[in-house]
Amino acid sequence: MDFSNRLQNLPTQFFASLVAKTSKAVAEGRDVINLGQGNPDQPTPDHIIKALQTAAADPKTHKYSPFRGISELRQAAANFYKREYGVDIDPDLEVAILAGTKIGLVELPLALLNPQDLLLLPDPGYPDNFSGAPLANIDYELMHLHPENGYLPDFNDLSETVCSRAKLMYLNYPNNPTGAVANKEFFDDTVAFAKDHNIAVVHDFAYGAVGFEGKKPVSFLQSEGAKEVGIEMYTLSKTYNMAGWRIGFAVGHSKMIEALNLIQDHLFAGLFPAVQLAAAEALNADQQCVADLVDLYEKRRNVLVKECTRIGWNIEAPQGSFFAWLPVPEGFTSIEFADFLLEKAAISVAAGSGFGDSGEGFIRVGLLVDENRIIEAMDRIDKLALF
């Protein structure tokens, strides 16, 4: 039996290919320094694990979860947004619980768009953003992110034809893969642009907790009128080292939230209630563990910048997320350089072209190994005499 046209039209899973290359090198017995991953390397905080253990031991959590999530988690998401960003969220109408925000990003075009509608996507951007288009049989247009504009899209670059056709736009700050951040003025402009062209906005706030030099990343929903045009997706994977737990949520525009909830009513039957209760504990409890995690990433960032400078690699320090966006030396494409580093130095990095055409000429490096391994990686690269 053949795969459906939808499956045949899906893009190649970039991260699967990256993992396969890295795993092959490890299987060969090589000491690989994995800077290509996006998987947090620290454990989930103890108080969250204990909340899961307690909840899992309660027979009440062994039953099906309500389709749209337990009330405790929806309320915790609302509490979190009020406390952290001063944004009022209705837990019953403006929260959708997600088994990881990737699901929400991929399924939202199915819930909101019709065939041949247009989706605006950042380039470079999170590769799985592209998966929703063929599944929903829609078109997409790329918004190119350039360093000279702080890796923010310039809406003036979009033609009137594109603006009139577009129905949905994705944004992501702090940005994966570039580490760029957005300010409130940009989000204010985004709200105005969305209203002018009747475009719904989805802001992927996956790295919302991770800002450096004392600057807390801005929530899209902090801009006046944002809830009138869009939603924000927040994952617990990065903020609380809960990547394997697969838990997140979307908040904002009530009709967009209802669309997410409705499609999930048909695709899923709810998350394990004990995981939801542990997630509520993470959102409601003292946030010192988050502050400590951000400090750890900032120390690693500073080591990376110092070491790159030492070997003559001129890079820009990321302002948020746990990624750095490094220029490729002359004479290499992004993929060629990533393969070269893996072959010659046993260092795994993510080729920038895997994040879109505008990612060519860069590699993405994760701050997800300890400082000594970052130093060792730079020592290995220094020996290659590239800079």
Mean pLDDT of the region 72-100: 98
Residue-level pLDDT at 16: 80
Q: Give a yes or no: residue 198 inside a domain.
A: yes
Label the pairing between strands 248-252 and 230-235: antiparallel
CATH number at residue 259: 3.40.640.10
Question: Do the beta carbons of residue 119 and residue 333 sit within 8 Å?
Answer: no
Give dist(CA 94, CA 258) in Å, integer. 8
**Structure confidence by residue, pLDDT tens digits, 282-331:** 999 999 999 999 999 999 999 999 999 999 999 999 999 999 999 999 99
Q: 211 and 322 in one domain? A: no
Question: Do the beta carbons of residue 89 and residue 253 sit within 8 Å?
Answer: no
Q: 326 and 179 in one domain? A: no
**Structure confidence by residue, pLDDT tens digits, 29-57:** 999 999 998 999 999 999 999 999 999 99
- Helix or strand (DSSP H, E) at 66: none
Helix 273-284 vs helix 71-85: crossing angle, to nearest 10 = 20
Q: 238 and 100 in one domain? A: yes
- Residues of the domain holding 364: 5-44+288-382
Tokens at 8, concatenated: 């045949």
Q: 17 and 84 in one domain? A: no
Question: Do the beta carbons of residue 179 and residue 188 sit within 8 Å?
Answer: no
> For residue 19, what pLDDT band results from cuts at 50, 70 and 90?
confident
Last residue of a domain, one of 284, 314, 344: 284
Sign of the CA dihedral 175, 180, 183, 186? negative
Q: 82 and 199 in one domain? A: yes
Mean of per-residue pLDDT scores for the chain: 96
Q: Give a yes or no: residue 53 inside a domain.
A: no
Question: Do the beta carbons of residue 362 and residue 329 sit within 8 Å?
Answer: no
Q: 37 and 16 in one domain? A: yes
Give dist(CA 99, CA 263) in Å, integer. 13
Question: Do the beta carbons of residue 227 and residue 203 sit within 8 Å?
Answer: no
